[in-house]
Amino acid sequence: MKVLFIGGTGIISSGITKQLLEEGCELYLLNRGNRNENLPAGVNIIKADINDEANVAKLIENHQFDVVADFIAFGVAQLERDFRLFNGKTKQFIFISSASAYQTPLSDYRITEGTPLSNPYWEYSRNKIACEEYLIKQYRENGFPITIIRPSHTYDERSIPLGVHGSKGSWQVAKRMLENKPVIIHGDGTSLWTMTHNSDFAKGFIGLMGNIHAIGESVHITTDETVTWNQIHEIIADALGVKLNAVHVSSDFLAACSDEDYRGGLLGDKANSVVFDNSKLKRLVPGFEATTRLDQGIKQTIAYILAHPELQTEDTEFDSWCDKVVLELDAAIWRIKG
């Protein structure tokens, strides 16, 4: 199978890249080469900026692909470009959408691919919905062989998956745990969530590649494991070998008092309980099973990050913000009691 990935080095795509190469796939990555130093041997690099459409058209002029997947498209204009570049040059075009595109708030916490798409809280999600609508139109009117994939919260060894963190990543939350500082958990921590290891995501993704039954379809890929945010934080603290000092804060309050996009990322996504029904994926990919339990995956992630200081990016601004939020909450409690 001859495959082209636009991107190919992110959390989701890197796991797929690794597994495809192990299977002997003829894999090409089209990217600017900024994060290619850790790629496995055997990958073919097309070094280019996908936004330079004329240059990319020349570089792929003599190529035909079985699968093209765009991991870095976030708006309709980018997919219009992809259609011009790859219509007639691939047997399958895979678009990476987002499970955050599903109805928010949900009328039923159990999510299938038939759950309506609507998210008034997050522009990112609305843009993904618009992208899906554009591709469906091209499929219906021009026979463009699309498959739409909706990941939920997917993680790998390079970053600890969390709901509340700063713009520099999640290490500062782990550092607060190690220092026994209060750690903010949105809401009361009992909402349900799903986190999928990228190696498990890759199994489902690869099973959909070259799959004639996936053409024209939308599919989400997640584990069947469901946990609460309290459990997630306890798992992380346990992997760090410390006791969790949790402080629960309203998601609305966090969204109102932070410059981070907590309105989108929390109110439009992680503050809501979600349970994914993967029946459709399992019909399309018989034998699919996510096998990395969250506590196992988190232990691997923590061990990797602790062994790689370059991944321990401190965020003093976020740290100060957390202290201020906790202080204000404590002060409010004393004022009310007083």
pTM of the model: 0.94
In a domain, 288, yes or no: no
**Residue 279 pLDDT:** 98
Q: Same domain for 236 and 148?
A: no
Tally of domains in the chain = 2
- What would the pLDDT profile of 298-325 be if each residue is shown by its tens digit? 999 999 999 999 999 999 999 999 999 9
- What would the pLDDT profile of 62-75 be if each residue is shown by its tens digit? 999 999 999 999 99
Q: Same domain for 231 and 305?
A: yes
CATH number of the domain where residue 249 is located: 3.90.25.10
- What would the pLDDT profile of 80-109 be if each residue is shown by its tens digit? 999 999 999 999 999 999 999 999 988 888
In a domain, 203, yes or no: yes
In a domain, 283, yes or no: no
Q: Same domain for 72 and 216?
A: yes
Mean pLDDT over 160-168 rounds to 95
Sequence-distant (6+) residues with CB within 8 A of 232 are 161, 162, 163, 193, 195, 294
In a domain, 7, yes or no: yes
**Residue 36 pLDDT:** 67
Q: Same domain for 185 and 237?
A: yes
Query: 326's torsion region: left (phi>0), alpha (psi -120 to 50) or beta?
Result: alpha
Q: Same domain for 255 and 315?
A: yes
Q: Same domain for 235 and 141?
A: no
In a domain, 282, yes or no: no
**What Rg value do the Cα atoms of the chain yield, rounded?**
21
In a domain, 160, yes or no: no
Q: How far is Cα 65 from Cα 14, in angstroms, rounded to an integer? A: 19
- End-to-end Cα separation, the chain, in angstroms: 70
Mean pLDDT over 168-173 rounds to 96
> Where do we find the tokens 């992208």?
131
Amino acid, single-letter form, for residue 3: V
Q: Which domain holds residue 190?
A: 171-194+226-275+293-330
Does position 205 have pLDDT exceeding 70, yes or no? yes
> Where do we find the tokens 């990217």?
31
Q: Same domain for 132 and 270?
A: no
Q: Same domain for 206 and 190?
A: no
Instruction: Label residue 33 by pLDDT band (50, 70, 90).
Output: confident
In a domain, 284, yes or no: no
Q: By the 8 A CB rule, do 202 and 21 touch?
A: no
Q: How far is Cα 205 from Cα 150, in angstroms, rounded to an integer? A: 10
Q: Same domain for 186 and 60?
A: no
Residue where a domain stops, chosen among 221, 236, 262? 221
Closest CA to 171 of 271, 14, 319, 320: 319
Q: Same domain for 138 and 259?
A: no
Q: Same domain for 137 and 60?
A: yes
Which residue would you say has higher pLDDT here, 338 or 177? 177
**Residue 178 pLDDT:** 98
Q: Same domain for 119 and 261?
A: no
CATH number of the domain where residue 126 is located: 3.40.50.720
Instruction: Label residue 127 by pLDDT band (50, 70, 90).
Output: very high
In a domain, 262, yes or no: yes
